[in-house]
Amino acid sequence: MNVTEYYKGHSKVEAYRRQGSSGGVATTILVDLLRRRKVDYVVVASLGNDNRSEMVITDRIEDVEDAAGSRYTLFRQGDILKRIRAKEGRYAVVAVGCFASAIRKLQEQDPVWKERIPYIIGLYCGNMLRPEADEAAARALGARWKDIVRIAYREGEGEGDFVVETRDRTVRHMPKARWNHLIPFFILEKCVPCRDLFNETADISLGDLVPGWNVVRVNTDVGRSLVSIPDLHLERISEAQALAVHEHALRTKELLRTSLVMRFLRSGAGRFSYRFLPKGPLMGYAERKRRRMRRVIQ
């Protein structure tokens, strides 16, 4: 049964709350499912040996904990589905909107997929970027890709910084609001017309609220069971409150779907230049007084 309920919440496990991009809710739910043997495996996004994001299948709680935090680049989703189909078991999948929607379509066509993937934990998603975005950000910070040993997307307090660490142990930071300026140059074209910011086909959808807190949208009865666990702290909020937090993302979605922007992206005119990375937080999660400037930039 489909439902729509909104909560604000966070993990009661302080380490998960600190480690996650927001409140650590996804990590807490996945660990709970593994511990109670509700699933045999979970599918999460992690960083591979080449610092590229990838989707991995694991049954280890340690891997889930290591995967906490945001990943903002493209994943090969088809490969992971082939592996799920080939290996029996029950899976919980963390998915962005397009991936969650694809899983639902598979479940409509073949009951095996309903048995394989009983839980879909969705993430709010404004867009996905091509892998070259990470390289561009690293170059803007003065780091060569081959010298990088660690990448983080939301490290530190508040929104967090894009962080690269090189072999010489030098750590370089780029504020999230500055990193956001990469979006027009590296966004996937298929993300431009997408309207599923809130991942409505997943059992639950998770987004940012304020540092240390998630917005939790419950979409199904299965989703209700996922959030009804002792290690989560949840408080009911209204739909208006939940939407207001992501007002900037909703506006950007509407902007990107205009035919003018589509033509701009297809023409190749949106080539990247470092001069388009101003140091001020003009397109990020700006405070209220900066909204007018952000609209001008958009």
Domain segments of the chain as ranges: 2-128+189-238, 132-186+268-297
Mean pLDDT score, 27-54: 89
Q: In the chain, how long is the greatest CA-to-CA distance?
A: 54
Rounded-to-integer distance, Cα 141 and Cα 173, Å: 8
State the Cα–Cα distance between residues 186 and 277, nearest whole angstrom: 13
pLDDT tens per residue, range 236-285: 999 888 888 887 777 776 766 665 555 555 555 445 454 444 444 333 33
pLDDT at 279: 45
**pTM exceeding the 0.85 threshold for the entire prediction:** no
Among 211, 277, 179, 273, which Cα is nearest to 24's? 211
pLDDT of residue 101: 93
Which one has a higher pLDDT value, 180 or 269? 180
Note the pLDDT tens digit of each residue in 185-204. Answer: 888 878 877 888 889 999 99
pLDDT in tens, 122-132: 999 888 888 88
CATH code of the domain occupying 2-128+189-238 = 3.40.640
